[in-house]
Structure 1
Amino acid sequence: MRTSSPPSASVDWAYFLDVDGTLIDIADTPGAAFVDTELLDLIARLYQESGGAMALVSGRSISDLEHLLGSLHLPLAGQHGLERRDAAGRLWIHAATPEAKCTIKEALAPVLVQYPGLLLEDKGLTLALHYRQAPHLAAYAHRLMGQLANDADAGLEVQPGKRVAEVKPSGIDKGTAVSEYLKESPFKGRRPVFIGDDLNDEHGFAEVNRLEGISIKVGKGRSCARFRLPDVAAVRRWLGNILKGSE
């Protein structure tokens, strides 16, 4: 699909924003990510000016997002929509069976010893096998996680991402999270905007496209998004211009 720069936006729209690779640059490890005060101010202002119609929709857990955001309190969808905090502060959770997750984690233990470049992140509802420090193991990591998910026979699927293969319950994703938010105030009735950079964001793009909203892919790569921004800095500038227009 041919993409171009997104149009000038409005504070009357509903904003759904990925975090890593979209609002902040991807770090060597998930724990090394850092949210600067300038971004925190931008998020807080956009949340206020949009009347609260802004949510972060991330692969990170909600608890991890809260750690990054500090005192900021806003709607959050974590672990690709498996957990979601709405505008009223209510928490919704879609969980895999603990037995299946435990079995997969145990099977990965000797693999992590054999390949120290791999990193297993237990997010609570999902298991993410990162190969950022061992990109040559990409095919192996995806094949292994796919086999473990299939063997578990518990309705699991592998969600690919940037140098990560993540096992999660099937049928719930960033697109379903966006759909759920848009049924609720203050998102309901607004034109949706979804900004992301990764394969797991394609679900969000597809849902927003279906609703004739604004889907924005960050960086290079094939995507169903209708618009594109080159990098994190460009995303921040675009969001900042929304606020300038409201002053």
Structure 2
Amino acid sequence: MAALADTPHLAVVTDFDGTLAPFAASIYEAEADPRALEALTALSTTADTTAAVLSGRHLEGLRRVCPVQEPVVFGGSHGAESSWQSTALSPQMQAHLDAKEAEIRKLMERFPGAEIEIKPFQRVLHLRKLELKDPDAAKAAYQAGLQLDPAGFPRTAGKSVIEFSATTASKGSWIELLRERVDATAVVFLGDDVTDESGFRVLVQPPDLGVKIGEGETAARLRLADTAAATQFLVALAHARATARAER
């Protein structure tokens, strides 16, 4: 913590679902701990410090559930979107997404309760609600989703979700871009899911620090139990950073 507080330019990046906010049955019911959001805002307004939220949610959806303002930076769709720029789909990318959407909707007919999320660069099969109602059906739907052909494009199997993407952008590539943009001398990244591992893998630990929330194999050096512990970490880091900058 002391080393991070003293680094010339610190970038703090955090996932949202499962990190800032506990998982919810409905996509837009997730709520982050207000103390975590306050810590992010404090970090973003501290000298020589960048704070960012990087999520699998698309930017518009992320802003709906994460009510922090600039200068906090947003990254959406697993790094395919950034709040500082706009990007567009090619015809090939759009055709791929259209095909995956049609296939996922067929699965939804087979497994009532399964849901689809439409993102600018992804189509996602969501099974959390079905899992709560019928775990066996959710397992069957998950396996059926894994049988869908990604057709050479990226596919990510996460916690009760399978995401089909039309871009090779990842949380790792987004973090590398952010590091370059702000000339960060150390990056902290907090995440909980397999999609966050690409972010952990681009870190140089130390001076960087990967923080894994929850169980599972990880490339992160630090593990915290849950979202409450993640909030405590962010609050402590914000205080340490502000104190270190004020003493300069």
Length-normalised TM-score, structure 2: 0.83
Equivalent residue number for residue 39 of structure 1: 36
Q: Which residue of 2 aligns with 1:22?
A: 19
How many residues matched? 234
Structure 2 unaligned blocks of 5 or more: 244-248
- Separation in structure 2 between the aligned mates of residue 138 and residue 210 of structure 1, nearest angstrom: 37
What's the CA shift string for 1:132-191, capped at 9, x where partnerless?
1234356544544444343xx3x4121111111100135321000001111112xx1421
Residue 217 of structure 1 is aligned with which of 212, 216, 219? 212
Q: Match for 1:239 among 221, 225, 234?
A: 234
- In the alignment, which of 92, 99, 111 is matched to residue 95 of structure 2? 99
User: For the structure 1 residues 143 and 157, does the alpha-carbon distance in structure 2 shift closer, same or farther, using more than 3 Å as the test?
Assistant: farther
Q: Which of the numbers 226, 230, 246 marks the counterpart of 2:225?
A: 230
1:62-141 alignment runs, 5 A limit? 62-70=59-67, 72-73=69-70, 74-85=72-83, 89-92=84-87, 97-132=93-128, 133-134=130-131, 135-137=135-137, 140-141=140-141
Q: 1:178 to 1:137 in 2, by over 3 A?
A: farther
Matches within 5 A, 1:44-55: 44-49=41-46, 51-55=48-52
| Contiguous gaps of at least 5 residues in structure 1 | 1-5
237-246 vs 92-101, which moves further: 92-101
1:168 aligns with 2:169: no
Q: 1:103 to 1:211 in 2, by over 3 A?
A: farther
Deviations 1:11-65 (A, max 9, x none): 7421111111111111112121123543332221121125451111110111112
- Once the 2 structures are TM-superposed, how far is the Cα of residue 231 of structure 1 from its aligned partner? 0.9
CA drift of 1:94 comes to 6.6
Residue 194 of structure 1: CA displacement? 0.9
State the distance in 1 between where 2:104 and 2:119 align: 15
Moved more, 164-173 or 137-146: 137-146
TM-score (norm 1): 0.84
Task: Note if contact 2:155-2:162 (Cα within 8 Å) is conserved in structure 1.
Answer: yes
Determine what percentage of the aligned residue pairs are the same residue: 25
